[in-house]
Each structure stands twice: as structure tokens, then as C-alpha cells.
A and B are shown apart, each in its own frame.
Chain A
Amino acid sequence: MQINGVEVEDTFAEAFPMTATRLIITAADRFWARRAAEAMTGFATSVIGCGCEAGIEAEVDANQTPDGRPGIAVLVFSMSGKELEKQVVRRVGQCVLTCPSTSVFAGMDSEKRVALGSHLRYFGDSFQTSKIIGGRRYWRVPVMDGEFVAEESTGRRDAVGGGNFLVLSQSLDGALKACESAMDAMRQVPNVIMPFPGGVARSGSKVGSKYKALGASTNDAFCPTLRPITKSLLPQGVAAALEVVIDGLTEADVARAMRVGIQAACALGDRYGLKRITGGNYGGKLGKFHFHLHQVLA
């Protein structure tokens, strides 16, 4: 398959099951809401080393947030409900509670719950109070700029992590431009995040390592500098490969984001030396979700 002169390889991207929650962070204005959201989702690129994968999903208009203030929707993904709760409480406690004027609310309804205000309230040192509004409990924790309001808990649901596609280009500059174009398009897709810096990873990994302590190591088959000495998967003329990684609430969300992203990247075509789009997989051994690129684009 070719789009705008760019070859889309007949392969699949491999993704795995995760559990996810959505938080709505509000503040006096969007500047502070975004600062809190950025801090909370920092160092959350991969569950391998960060405990969770998190990112900003979208801005939320003031008339759609619980307290009528500008908000940011954040998605957090982890491998288990227990780890997700640990990460959410820790990150909200250190990055949202500390940020001036913020409040945090559940962005998802579900029977499965993740603690939020129910844990954070203890910062109030017994001065905290709760208020049930519309059947939901909110904790009001006194802080130096007034009150930090946190909903008792948020919902969580099964999700999909690790959806991906690789952009192969004749130059690093071309690969970056293609990924930036893909990101601009994919950020409009709801229910997904791209957790790596700018949504893109340059350090795609393979399972295993020559060092016993490591479970993952550099994907040498896609490293242009190793082409002469390894079994390279890079076509001739390709100088850089970048990986766009996608976490989504459903398989369909991830597929939609992949489609939108691949199409946006390919729209640049030859102008930026884009040669090929491929998918990262581990022979089907890592995850149960397989996104076949040709099917995703069909």
C-alpha cells in the first residue's frame, strides 16, 4: 500500500491490555490548569520505568467542568488497578495539590474506582471537610490559597496501551516533521494520549538484552548507525526512524488515532523524504491487540 508515495508496510503494531482513568484538573485559569496537568503527566512515558503512562488528552471548556472553571483532561494508564491508584494519588498529591488554585475531579464513571480525594484528604490534618453534591463526595482540603477540592474517587476501565507506528525517513529532519504533523492531527482524537515527549519515541525497544538485568534494550534493527553490523530492517536510504506510541481507552480509539496519524504523516510525502510507515511488534508475543496497518487505514 502506498499513500502519497509513501509505502505503508503490510505488518502490524502490537499493543497490550492496560487499565486507565481520566482526571479533570481545573484552576482559576487555563494557564495554571495546564501547569498542573503538565507536571502530573511528566515522567510518565512508559510503565517500564515510570509506573504509569500519562498525558494531556484535551482542554475542557469552563462550562463543561464540575466547578465551572477552565480545565484539562488527563489520561493515566497503568498495568493494574493497584499501581494506577498508587500513581494517581502520588502524582495528584505532588503536582496538582501543590499547584495554585487547582481542583481535581473524576473524568470517568465506572464501578471500578481509583482513590483520589479519599486519600489526599489527610493532608488537611483533620481540618478537611467533605461535601456531597449531586450524589458525589468532594473533599475540601485547606491550603494556603484557599481550598483544594478533590473528588472522592475516579473511575477506571480496561484500556489499550502501546499502539504504535514507525516513521522511516531519509533524514532526521524529515522524520521529525512527519511526526509533528501526525501529532497535530492525533491530538484532536479523543480518548487517546501519546505519552512520550512530543508524542514520539526515538528509543524504540526490543524485548530482552545481553545484560541480564534489563528486560528491554535498543531496537538495533531500526538503528541507522548499526545498519552495517546488524540484521537491519531499515530500507536503503533511510537515515532516521521515529516511533509514535499511542495509549487509548479502546481498541477503536487507538486504531482511529493510528489512522489519523499515519495519514497526516504521509500527507507530507516525498517533500520531507518520508519513505515508509511500519509497525512495531514482537512477533505477536507481547500483547493481544494487533493493529494491522492496512486494516487500520482501510
Chain B
Amino acid sequence: MSSLTLRPANTAPRRINLFGIVPNQVKDLPLSEIFRLPIRIEERAAVVGDCFEVVDGDRATIVLDGDLSNCDYVGGGLDGGRILVTGSVGDFLADRMRDGVIEVRGSADRFACSGLRGGLVHVAGDCGEYAAAAAPGAQRGMNGGFLVVNGNCDQWLATRMRRGTVIVHGNVAAACASRMIAGTLALCGQVDFPLAANMARGSILLLGHEGVCTSPAGFTEPELTELSYLRMLINDIAPYLPVRICKERIPAVVFRAMGDRVNRGLGEIIWLFNTRAAKAETDC
């Protein structure tokens, strides 16, 4: 049996709020009720049937078929089950999601996973600004779960992130991990500075870095450190890492810097592969 499928009925560029259109909400509803599920179109009350054609199917998975880049809060309130988006989505992907899986084959706009609390979100494309970061007015960003981004991430990734793991296969723009509270970032591409300004705790694994390690401002100089927990962490995130990195052997000793010491932070930046200390490079 195919999955319950929602297709945008028209392409009018109105912002649609899809919070609550998730498998755990629709699993016991007849198709007629699903048509009448409340959504919001630019702050006006509406129902699913106003904007989507609905094809009945297995409720464990909802397929959102098409371009949903005008749809915000996709996967909002998900607490089990799976959502597959064949195109791109708008802002606030996976807000207040606690469990389950969201797979976005396109890209996600701003504040993706800002309100994520658990489960797995996989974005095949790029993420806009403030992914996993605190939304306006919020004290904390992402508070649990996994965000995996195959593409790139724009500025302010993981700002005030509290908990959980973010893995980015591509490049990351500036201001990543600003005021990061805790959690884990595994960044496999290039990372623009400034990085981790005012970071309090948490770990940033720089997996794609080669050559000289340079600490961001406020961090200690990179030092060789043996961390027994690292193997556990890498094994945990290995299923979501690019193949080229999974093939690398995890070194027993890595370069590590701590900060942001400006605010007495205990965060850590870890360079995992093919790196040299800045001091050693200078000496050469």
C-alpha cells in the first residue's frame, strides 16, 4: 500500500503553516477528516483540502509531493512515523518534533530544526540561516535529535543550540555555533570564521579539515589530546557521515582546542584527520 500523499493544489506563493500535519495526528483519521485538518495560510485559518490534493494510503508515512518551499513548519509536532518531502520546504522544519523521521529531498529554508527535540531529520539539499539555532524570542535552539544535511548550511548554524547532533556534509557559512550551549556538530566541509563565538559547551568535530589547525578567537591553541569517548561518538554518527570519512581510521590522538574562554566556555573543537598544529607549521 502506498503512503498517504499530499500534493500542493496550486503554486500561489502564499505562506502555508503545516504544523501538525504529521503521521501521529492522522493515523486514525478517515480521509474526509484529513481534508478538514486545520492549517494556516498567511495567518488565516484554513484546512488541508484548501491547498492540497490528498491521496489516501498508509498513515505511517506522509509523502509531501512537490515543491513546498512556501510551506513552513513542515513536520511540526511529529512524534513518530515518517514524512517524506520530495521537494524543498520553507522555514521552521521539524518544529517541536520529538520522534520519527523527516526526509527532505530538496532544501530547507531558515530555522530548520530550531525546535527539534528528538528523531532524525535528513535534508538532502541545503539549509538556510539559523539551522538548529534559537528562533527569535527563544532561549535555546535545537534540543535533541539528529539533523543531517547533505548540502551546505548558511550563517548562524547551531546558534544557542542546546542538545543533539548536527552533521553537515557540505560547507558551513560564518557564525556557526555562536553561543552554542551544548550538543555536537560534525562538519565535513569547509567552515567559515567566525566560528563558535561565545560557545559555552559542546563539541565541534571538523572532519573535512586538512592542513593547519587554526583556533578561532577565544579558543586555546590546538593541542594533541587522547579522547577515549571519541570512538563512541564517531561510531554513533557514522551511519550519517559521508563515505569518504567513514573510511578514515579514527586516530587515537587528535588536535583539540577549548573555548570560548572569553566567557569561560568549556566547548571543544576537534580536528580529526590530516591536521597539523599551527605552531608546528610556523616552526617549519
Q: Do A and B make up one complex?
A: yes
Residues of A within 8 A of B (CB): 26, 66-69, 101, 103, 127, 129, 131-134, 138, 140, 146-147, 149
With beta carbons under 8 angstroms apart, the residue of B184, B201, B203, B229 that contacts A67 is B229
In the complex formed, the residue of B with least CB distance to A138 is B229
Assuming the contacts A129-B201, A131-B184, A134-B236, asked whether A147 and B163 have C-beta atoms less than 8 A apart, the reply is: no
Assuming the contacts A127-B266, A131-B203, asked whether A146 and B226 have C-beta atoms less than 8 A apart, the reply is: yes
Residues of B within 8 A of A134 (CB): 232, 236
Assuming the contacts A127-B266, A131-B203, A132-B163, asked whether A67 and B232 have C-beta atoms less than 8 A apart, the reply is: yes
- Give complex CA distance A26, B232 in Å: 13
- Give complex CA distance A216, B266 in Å: 53
The digit string for B224-243, where 1 denotes a CB below 8 A from any CB of A, is 01111101110110000000
With beta carbons under 8 angstroms apart, the residue of B163, B228, B232 that contacts A146 is B228
- Give complex CA distance A66, B235 in Å: 10
Flag if B163 contacts A66 (CB, 8 Å). no
Give min CB distance, A230 to chain B, whole Å: 56
Flag if A138 contacts B232 (CB, 8 Å). yes
Flag if B266 contacts A133 (CB, 8 Å). no
Give min CB distance, B147 to chain A, whole Å: 15
What's the interface size class on B, roughly? Answer: 10 to 19
Give min CB distance, B75 to chain A, whole Å: 20
Residues of A within 8 A of B228 (CB): 26, 67, 69, 101, 103, 146-147, 149
The digit string for B208-227, where 1 denotes a CB below 8 A from any CB of A, is 00000000000000000111
- Give complex CA distance A132, B237 in Å: 12
The digit string for B163-189, where 1 denotes a CB below 8 A from any CB of A, is 100000000000000000000100000
Residues of B within 8 A of A67 (CB): 228-229, 231-232
Residues of B within 8 A of A103 (CB): 228-229
Residues of A within 8 A of B236 (CB): 133-134
- Give complex CA distance A207, B140 in Å: 61
**26 A–B pairs (Cβ distance < 8 Å), ordered by A:** A26-B228, A67-B228, A67-B231, A67-B232, A68-B231, A68-B232, A68-B235, A69-B228, A101-B228, A103-B229, A127-B266, A131-B184, A131-B203, A131-B229, A131-B233, A132-B163, A133-B233, A133-B236, A134-B232, A134-B236, A138-B232, A140-B229, A146-B225, A146-B227, A146-B228, A147-B228
In the complex formed, the residue of B with least CB distance to A69 is B228
Residues of B within 8 A of A68 (CB): 231-232, 235
- Give complex CA distance A68, B233 in Å: 11
Flag if A147 contacts B229 (CB, 8 Å). yes
Interface of B is mostly: mixed
Residues of B within 8 A of A69 (CB): 228
Residue of B184, B201, B228, B231 with highest tally of chain A CB at under 10 A: B228
Residues of B within 8 A of A140 (CB): 229
Residues of A within 8 A of B201 (CB): 129
- Give complex CA distance A147, B228 in Å: 8
Residue of A131, A134, A149 with highest tally of chain B CB at under 10 A: A131
- Give complex CA distance A26, B228 in Å: 10
Residues of B within 8 A of A138 (CB): 229, 232
Give min CB distance, B261 to chain A, whole Å: 13
- Give complex CA distance A26, B235 in Å: 17
- Give complex CA distance A165, B231 in Å: 44
Flag if A66 contacts B232 (CB, 8 Å). yes
- Give complex CA distance A133, B231 in Å: 11
Residues of A within 8 A of B226 (CB): 146
- Give complex CA distance A147, B229 in Å: 9
- Give complex CA distance A67, B227 in Å: 10
Residue of B184, B201, B203, B233 with highest tally of chain A CB at under 10 A: B233
Flag if B232 contacts A129 (CB, 8 Å). no
Give min CB distance, B255 to chain A, whole Å: 14
Residues of A within 8 A of B229 (CB): 67, 103, 131, 133, 138, 140, 147, 149
- Give complex CA distance A149, B201 in Å: 17
Assuming A68-B235, A131-B184, A133-B233, what are 8 further A-B pairs, CB within 8 angstroms? Answer: A26-B228, A67-B231, A68-B232, A133-B236, A134-B232, A138-B232, A146-B227, A146-B228
Q: Which 5 A-B pairs have the closest CB atoms?
A: A68-B231, A133-B236, A134-B236, A149-B229, A133-B232
